[in-house]
Structure 1
Amino acid sequence: METSTLAAAQEIDFSLWALFIRATFTVQVVMIMLTVASFWAWAIIIGKIIMFRAARREANRFDGAFWSGEPLDELFDKIGADPNGQSEKIFAAGMTEWRRSHKSDGGLIAGATARIDRSMDVAIAKQAETLNGGLSFLATVGSTAPFVGLFGTVWGIKHAFEQIAIAQNTNLAVVAPGIAEALLATALGLLAAIPAVVFYNKLSADSDRIIGGYESFADEFATILSRQLDS
């Protein structure tokens, strides 16, 4: 009897596709949701890695140009009022407000320093929004995917017990497929959640460092402009 049961179990297809096809509709929906969330999370992760590397390269390149000794007016004329780089946008925001603060007679409008600071702060906030875009989705996937997978597992096990009750047979050939289908949902939940959590922490730290660099540059630039105002 045991030999025949093992032989029957060995004939069952336990491939991922077969487990998905045999699962109930509810568990299939859970698996599809988790698979889509996983692919979406990886798309965000890869996109952010590329974006952050480009932002760091652009920041290093602009820092070299900014501290090269070239007059700031000439540098601003070169990059324009609406550049593509993130650091350049912050610099352009400050320089644009600096020029707008000059009167026709060459004097400065009162409160120029505060307006320049606010202009650069707004530019930094826009860049921070771009850098952090999508990270909230990673956090959501990391915190909810295991529970969604667990729901699929509980539902699948419930269905498996129902099948056992209908068949009134608890041998391995009856029990194993239902349990395997149910556990696949939990596995997919973990597969989606673990990379999302790991890369959310890493990308959040990278974003904070890049934004911190922008804020440091804005402070240094504001100090230079303030020194010129005082002189």
Structure 2
Amino acid sequence: MLQDTSASAAPAAQSNAEAMKAMGFDHLIHNFDPLGWIVFVVLVIMSFSSWYFIIANAIRNGMVRGRAERVIQGFWGNSSTQDAIRVLEEQPKGEPFSKIALDAASAVAHHQQAAGGRLAETLSRSEFIDRALRQAVARESLRLEGGLTLLATVGSSAPFIGLLGTVWGIYHALIRISSSGDASMQAVAGPVGEALIMTAFGLFTAIPAVLAYNFFNRSNRLTYARFDEFAHDLHDYFATGARVEAGVAPVVVKK
């Protein structure tokens, strides 16, 4: 009797082992239906897009923060405004601190040229510089946010798109059971494997995007604070001719 039980258990175990092989990624690819392909392609596009912006933002933010102190000190370390402006003009196109300072210097020059005109009567020098600095800081801040909307979208929607693939796979398993009346491992292993893989793929797409969004959001807030600090110093300098620092006598720079 024991021999009969062992003999019948062995084929069943072998059959289950064969059924488990149908739960792999290869089976998933070869048994996609149109909706399955749509879900899979959307997740692939989301994953590649999010990783592109993760890498691009990491490089850009690293370069901005790495150059920030050098650019700021390079501006204040020059003995004349003209020399400082020449240093700023030599900075790379995507360097934000130099662009903020150059916009302030351009605003000063424009206001001086309009002296005695309606512009000078409408806006004082201080107000005109403040307006230019606000626009420059807003523009450079917006550039730093490139890709964050996509990362937030991927992080919030990818799990649900993967869940759609999961529900569709389970639905296929139930349809197969109802049509064949066979609830064995061989009948449901493929669709269930498809469902599990789509869930995992959705999470694999979403988790890096969420972590990257939170990291870049925090990093950008620190950079925004540096923007505001530098802009305030620039406003004081270009409006009064001296850089005003807390607890320190004004630093006058020759023009």
What TM-score comes out, normalization by structure 2 length?
A: 0.82
Q: For residues 82 and 98 of structure 1, do their structure 2 counterparts lie closer, same or farther at Cα, with a shift above 3 Å needed?
A: farther
Alpha-carbon contact 1:19-1:177 (below 8 Å) kept: yes
Deviations 1:63-112 (A, max 9, x none): 12022143122211343499622111000000011112224889x93511
> Judging changes above 3 Å, is the alpha-carbon distance between structure 1 residues 44 and 141 closer, same or farther for their aligned structure 2 residues?
same
- Amino acid corresponding to residue 222 of structure 1 in structure 2: H
| 1:163 is the counterpart of 2:172 | no
Tell me, in whole angstroms, the C-alpha distance in 1 between the residues paired with 2:196 and 2:114.
74
Residues 148 and 213 of structure 2 are in contact (CA less than 8 Å); yes or no, is this contact kept in structure 1? yes
Q: Which residue of 2 aligns with 1:129?
A: 142
Distance in 2 of aligned mates of 1:178 and 1:104: 74
Q: What is residue 109 of structure 1 aligned with on the other side? A: 120
Report the AA paired with residue 179 of structure 2: I
**Counterpart contact for 1:82–1:92, Cα < 8 Å:** no
1:24 aligned residue: 33
1:197-216 per-residue CA deviation (whole Å, 9 max, x = no partner) reads 11101101111211221111
Give me the whole-angstrom Cα distance separating, in 2, the residues matched to 1:71 and 1:7.
Answer: 84
Amino acid corresponding to residue 172 of structure 1 in structure 2: M
Q: For residues 32-181 of structure 1, what are the structure 2 equivalents within 5 Å?
A: 32-80=41-89, 84=93, 85-103=95-113, 109-110=120-121, 111-181=124-194
Spell out, residue by residue over 1:138-184, the C-alpha distance to the aligned partner (whole angstroms, 9 max, x if none). 10111111111111111110011101112211111112221111111
Q: Distance in 1 between matches of 2:91 and 2:127?
A: 21
Larger radius of gyration: 2
Q: CA deviation digits over 1:2-49, x for unaligned, max 9? A: 533332232334331322222332122212211220111011001000
Amino acid at match of 1:102: Q
Which of 195, 199, 202 is 1:189 aligned to? 202
130-139 or 116-125, which moves further after superposition? 116-125
Matched residue SS, 2:68: helix
The residue type paired with residue 6 of structure 1 is A
Matched, 1:223 2:228: no
Tell me, yes or no, if the aligned pair for 2:43 and 2:158 is still in contact at 8 Å: yes
Deviation at 1:196, TM superposition (A): 0.7
Instruction: Say whether the 8 Å CA contact 1:5–1:172 is kept in structure 2.
Output: no
User: How many angstroms apart in 2 are the aligned matches of 1:172 and 1:94?
Assistant: 71
1:6 aligns with 2:13: yes
Amino acid at match of 2:127: A
8 Å Cα contact 1:86/1:127 also seen in 2: yes
Cα distance change on mapping 1:201 and 1:114 into 2, 3 Å: same
The answer to whether the 8 Å contact 2:39/2:165 transfers is: yes
Give the fraction of aligned pairs with identical amino acids, expressed as a percent: 29
When the two chains are superposed, the root-mean-square deviation of aligned CA atoms in Å is 2.5
